[in-house]
Structure 1
Amino acid sequence: MPTHTTVPIAAGRLALEHQTVLGLPPVEFVHLAADLGCRYIAAVLVGNPVNPHGYEPFSLRDDAALRHRTIAAMREREVSISLAEGFVVRPGGDVRGYAADLDVMAGLGAAVINTVTMDPDLGRSHDEFGTLAEMAGERGMQTTIEFAPSLTIGDLDSALAAVRHVARPDFRLLIDTMHLVRSGHTPADLAAVDPTLIAYAQLSDNTIRQRGTVYREDSIDRMVPGEGELPLRDILAVLPPDIVIGLEVPMLSAAQAGEPTEERARRCVQAARDLLTATGAVDQAPRTER
């Protein structure tokens, strides 16, 4: 039976995100987060297709025994799911098809689900967001909308328009630091947003200009917070002090070069703690209501 380092769970705000661990199965993911002193993980139901370490495929959707082991590990290590990913609005799709997945995530104790849209029909996307938020709310979960230059909702203003359209207090913004800056926004733009509309943030670093030939190349090969060009201290300084900060730092090149998942994650966690300490925001505990 493996042993794990015991790290006191501080009143910290950090979540380790599934993209950071690139396919690590959920029970091992929970233990890694706890070993690094993180209270939260952001999870998906099925293993990441980008899997440079060759981890065993998994499906929390189909494997009830795995769900039970994951819940047991979370209880043992005092870790919970801060964000559930994978709820995408697609052209011609119907978000009501996510009912079973929402049930699974609610059963795992997820607090928030995240959504994006790849449907170019903006009006239809807005309506689908409303349906999804209602379904999540019926299961005790909040919903966030994420924007990125590669998506239909490509910037902060468009995301705010979606929030206004849905008009539910449990449908709010997710701020990804890379997407925020790459979509042309500044920390001052973020500071102008009503903080009650911001529910979650994802922290990573990168160059300001796109490096890859397509946006996805940069999205799966980011930099440790503080090692790139993004104004992270200024962004963190204006985010609400009581939201979870998820470390979404997939570093595909480092993984392919042989750096273990634990070492990459440890570097990211320490860098994030240093940045939060520099902003004076590290001791604020996130909101716990759902």
Structure 2
Amino acid sequence: MKHQFSLAHLTALECAPPELIYLAAQAGYDFVSIRPIYMGLPDEPNYDLATNKVMFKETKIALQQTGLNVHDIELARVHADIDPLIYEPAFEVAAELGAKHVLSSIWTDDTELGREKFAQLCDLARPYGLIINLESVPIASVKTLKGAIHVLEDVKRENVGLMIDAHHFHRADDCIDDLKTIPKEWLHYFHLCDAQREIPVKKEEMTRILREERLYIGEGGLPLKDMVTRLPSDIVFSLEMPHKQRTKELGTFEYIKKCLESAKTFVQEKDTRIIKK
């Protein structure tokens, strides 16, 4: 079958959404995943399309000219100090750009508050036809796959999804067999990347690697074959593979092209093994 690939914005965060779209189309991607929600992180560019009307217009033009689609937007963080209502302008942007998904993660250790705010996110997103996909992140409060599953079971909303990141799954020491227990209707896309097999002891080093030193598919030591074979066959592969040094050496276009080539080779080999069986 023909698999579809999205370019996650973190892989080329130096590119504003219009440039990201043109480069992704030229490289052969099917979608882009953009970050129109500004989080104020160190050295993070501000691509708030809800307030930057010029960039928003340029983004729409880029989509029209390339025929690419926006798969998802990010990151609607659940945090004790953040009112979910602030994300509604970004939801409007997502809907107008044709996106169907929003990525979220939970960053408060107050379990009840986290679930309450996540449920509110889902309710805010529903009128825009958006699905809120929860990602477990080992440096956040909901760190594991099981933890994310419990949240979705508790909030009982129809427009929810579970977004699994290969790096985070491995770093959280999640169980491969648990992937079989996830309702298929929750699985819409998957962050495909590779990384060193060894799990960093220090949080700072784990954070550095996940933000700027992920590897080409097949280059590292993550159990990608076991993971992917347990996911729906039509799942979209979103390539979140930031590597600061390689981007500097190769240039953004050549780097994202090599990311896609490594992913397509991996998926093709996976399909070939399944057919032979």
CA distance in 1, matches of 2:83, 2:191: 27
The C-alpha deviation readout for 1:130-155, integer Å capped at 9, x for no partner, is: 11011111111111000011111110
Q: Which runs of 5+ in 2 are unaligned?
A: 273-277
Asked whether 1:138 is paired with 2:117, we answer no
CA 1:93–1:46 in structure 2 vs 1: closer, same or farther (change >3 Å)?
closer
CA distance in 2, matches of 1:57, 1:189: 37
Asked whether 1:261 is paired with 2:243, we answer no
CA distance in 1, matches of 2:245, 2:38: 19
Asked whether 1:223 is paired with 2:215, we answer yes
What amino acid does structure 1 have at the position aligned with 2:266? L
CA 1:193–1:57 in structure 2 vs 1: closer, same or farther (change >3 Å)?
closer
Q: How far did residue 70 of structure 1 move?
A: 0.9
Asked whether 1:147 is paired with 2:136, we answer yes
In structure 2, what is the equivalent of residue 126 of structure 1? 115
Asked whether 1:167 is paired with 2:159, we answer no
Q: How far did residue 57 of structure 1 move?
A: 5.9
What amino acid does structure 2 have at the position aligned with 1:191? K
**Native 8 Å contact 2:3 2:234 kept in 1:** no
Q: How far did residue 156 of structure 1 move?
A: 0.8
Asked whether 1:272 is paired with 2:263, we answer yes
- The alignment's C-alpha RMSD in Å is 2.2
Q: How far did residue 204 of structure 1 move?
A: 0.7
What amino acid does structure 2 have at the position aligned with 1:251? H
CA distance in 1, matches of 2:173, 2:24: 32
Count of residues in correspondence between the two structures: 268
In structure 2, what is the equivalent of residue 233 of structure 1? 225
CA 1:169–1:82 in structure 2 vs 1: closer, same or farther (change >3 Å)?
same
**Native 8 Å contact 1:32 1:262 kept in 2:** yes
CA 1:73–1:11 in structure 2 vs 1: closer, same or farther (change >3 Å)?
farther
**Bigger proportion of residues as helix:** 2
Q: Secondary structure at the match of 1:151?
A: coil
Asked whether 1:43 is paired with 2:34, we answer yes
In structure 1, what is the equivalent of residue 9 of structure 2? 18
The C-alpha deviation readout for 1:28-78, integer Å capped at 9, x for no partner, is: 1101111121110110116796769xxx86442322122112112112211
Q: How far did residue 200 of structure 1 move?
A: 1.7
CA distance in 2, matches of 1:57, 1:147: 24
What amino acid does structure 1 have at the position aligned with 2:72? L
What amino acid does structure 2 have at the position aligned with 1:16? L
Query: Relative to structure 2, which stretch is displaced further, 264-273 or 94-103?
Result: 94-103
CA distance in 2, matches of 1:119, 1:57: 24
Q: How far did residue 271 of structure 1 move?
A: 0.7
In structure 2, what is the equivalent of residue 27 of structure 1? 18
Q: Any residues of structure 2 matched to 1:163-202 within 5 Å, and which? A: 163-202=152-191
CA distance in 1, matches of 2:23, 2:242: 15
What amino acid does structure 1 have at the position aligned with 2:7? L
In structure 2, what is the equivalent of residue 246 of structure 1? 238
Q: How far did residue 222 of structure 1 move?
A: 0.8
CA 1:35–1:51 in structure 2 vs 1: closer, same or farther (change >3 Å)?
farther
The C-alpha deviation readout for 1:207-233, integer Å capped at 9, x for no partner, is: 233347412111112111110000112
**Native 8 Å contact 1:22 1:50 kept in 2:** no
CA distance in 1, matches of 2:138, 2:75: 18
Q: Any residues of structure 2 matched to 1:31-110 within 5 Å, and which? A: 31-45=22-36, 58-110=47-99
Q: How far did residue 186 of structure 1 move?
A: 3.5
What amino acid does structure 1 have at the position aligned with 2:25? A
Q: Secondary structure at the match of 1:74?
A: helix
CA 1:75–1:118 in structure 2 vs 1: closer, same or farther (change >3 Å)?
same
What amino acid does structure 1 have at the position aligned with 2:173? G
Q: Which runs of 5+ in 1 are unaligned?
A: 1-9, 282-290
In structure 1, what is the equivalent of residue 275 of structure 2? none
CA distance in 2, matches of 1:51, 1:226: 29
The C-alpha deviation readout for 1:170-196, integer Å capped at 9, x for no partner, is: 201001011111111233221232322
CA distance in 1, matches of 2:114, 2:23: 36
What amino acid does structure 1 have at the position aligned with 2:262? A
**Native 8 Å contact 2:32 2:69 kept in 1:** yes
Normalising by structure 1, we get a TM-score of: 0.86
